[in-house]
Amino acid sequence: MAELTRMVGFASSIPEKTFSRRQTLGVELMATVALAVSLAIALTAVSIGVARAQVLHSLGKTVTLAIRP
């Protein structure tokens, strides 16, 4: 017969709660840093696009997009 372990469901493979919490905090910190870096890159790309559009507008050039209706 199977031995009962008094644990319901899936248990963490890491028995120490402090190590587990420290590992979780590290993952959350890396995710936050990655999100901040990606937002900075997106903001830079949008700013460059807006600046380029303003320069082309001031020169009187029209830009056609390769989008089919």
- Grade residue 67 by pLDDT with cuts at 50, 70 and 90: low
Boundaries of every domain in the chain: 38-64
Q: Which residue has the higher pLDDT, 11 or 62?
A: 62
Tokens of 59: 């020169």
- Half-sphere exposure at residue 28, Cβ-oriented, CA atoms within 13 angstroms: 6
SS3 content of the chain, % helix, strand, coil (to 5): 60, 0, 40
pLDDT for position 23:
79
Phi and psi at 9, nearest 5°, equal 80, -155
pLDDT for position 41:
97
Strand, helix or coil for residue 45: helix
pLDDT in tens, 19-65: 677 778 889 999 999 999 999 999 999 999 888 888 877 877 776 66
What is the torsion angle, in degrees rounded to the nearest 10, for the CA atoms of residue 13, residue 16, residue 20 and residue 22?
Answer: -160
Kindly report the pTM of this predicted structure. Answer: 0.56
